[in-house]
Structure 1
Amino acid sequence: MTLLAVHLALTAAYAGFQWTVRALVYPQFAQVPPAAFPAYERRHQQRISRVVGPLFAGQCVTTPWLLADRPAGTPLPAVVAGAACLAVVLGFTGLGAVPLHRRLDRAWDSAAHRRLLQVDTVRAVAATAGTAAALWALLG
């Protein structure tokens, strides 16, 4: 039960973080003067990694742990669904958000910014679904 509660806390914290980034942080990028944007973006990447890193790390521990040693009464489909949601988040992060941030730290690019907003919407929705799956796993 403790593992399931920790997992739920991590997924919920990440989903809240992701929606905050999507709704508040990324839209503000367009307000930064283009000449100042590369430095702003590099600082953003440094600071945001301090928050997202532990949340990713925690989920990357609890998710495989639940897959390998699911507590009695925990529905397997809930654990698998949560793992799939995490895979979507990590995939869209590594293959979408990270390369877009690298483009943006060289120069402001409105097309890259629009694409980042799209990628981030997928991450936020997947994170929310992962939280729902974690709750399902906990409540069984």
Structure 2
Amino acid sequence: MTFALPDPATEFGARVARRLREDMIAWVTSVDHAGTPQPAPVWFLWDDDAVLFYSRPNAKRLERLRANPRTSLNLNDEGLGKDVIVLTGTLTEEPGVRPAHEHAAFVEKYGELATATFGTTEKFSELYSVPLVLHPERLRGH
């Protein structure tokens, strides 16, 4: 069965689609060698039917995700436990994906922030050079 977002004609489906487009931070959770969940904030891009984000090549998160590609991506709630959105699925490294500074949609969403934080989008791409894609299999939320 292929994953699909909830119907955008519904209130929940419209909210999920909007948040995947507009939210700036998501939390990707990997599991360490002791089985402890290790959430980490990432800049992300909803790209058709998957979530793209970039990692530093020396990040502990990357090592953990290589060992266990099953992961979750959580969007922040509104502060009181409402508007929860969690995607679960399998993560893959995607070396064929363009670097962040060459990915038009990523630059549109994060270009200003990348420049303010790292000096240039190219510098962000240099530091966060490993493209990762979460292939969702399930969504839950309310």
Give the TM-score band, short-chain normalised. under 0.3
* Greater Rg over alpha carbons, structure: 1
Query: Per residue, is there more helix in 1 or in 2?
Result: 1
Query: Per residue, is there more strand in 1 or in 2?
Result: 2
Structure number with higher relative contact order (C-alpha < 8 Å, ≥ 6 residues apart): 1
* TM-score normalised by the chain length of structure 1: 0.24
